[in-house]
Amino acid sequence: MLRTGRSQSQTGKPKQYLEIGDRSIGNTVVYPDDDLIAVTDTAGNRGFTDKDGLPY
pLDDT in tens, 11-51: 888 877 777 767 678 788 888 888 899 888 888 888 999 98
> What is the predicted pLDDT for the residue at 48?
92
Over the chain, what HEC string results? CEECCCCCCCCCCCCCCCCCCCCCCCCEEEEHHHCEEEEECCCCCEEEECCCCCEC
Q: Hey, where are the domains in the chain?
A: 25-56
Phi then psi for 52, rounded to 5 degrees?
A: -85, -5
> What is the predicted pLDDT for the residue at 6?
67
Read off the pLDDT band of 4 (50, 70, 90): low
- Rounded to an integer, what distance in angstroms lies between the CA atom of residue 56 and that of residue 35? 9
